[in-house]
Amino acid sequence: MQSGLKKFDKWILEFITNDPTINPLMGWESSDDTLSELKMEFASRDLAIEYAKKNKIEYELIEPHNRKIVKKSYSDNFIK
């Protein structure tokens, strides 16, 4: 499968849930921390870091991996 590249130019700031619990009714993971539901998108890495520093938010920077794109056609699945 060849996935698209949409939204790979954004930097995302996510909050980590400190105390996840199991919902007794449904059995899903849940939390009382509403910040865990928040995801913020930034146009550049520098803007995301600046926002985190300005608001005194601890952050961990995860650099994107370079993707190796192999172009092939549908018929290549049946040739080899």
Which mean pLDDT values do the consecutive 10-residue runs of the chain (80 residues) have? 65 79 81 77 91 90 80 81
Q: String of b and e for 2-26 (b: at least 16 CB within 10 Å)?
A: eeeeeeeeebebeeeeeeeeeeeee
Residue 33 pLDDT: 73
Report the pLDDT value the prediction gives residue 6, as an integer from 0 to 100: 65
**Domain-located, residue 19:** yes
Task: Give the structural domain span for 60.
Answer: 11-79
Residue 1 inside a domain? The answer is no
Q: State how many domains the chain has.
A: 1
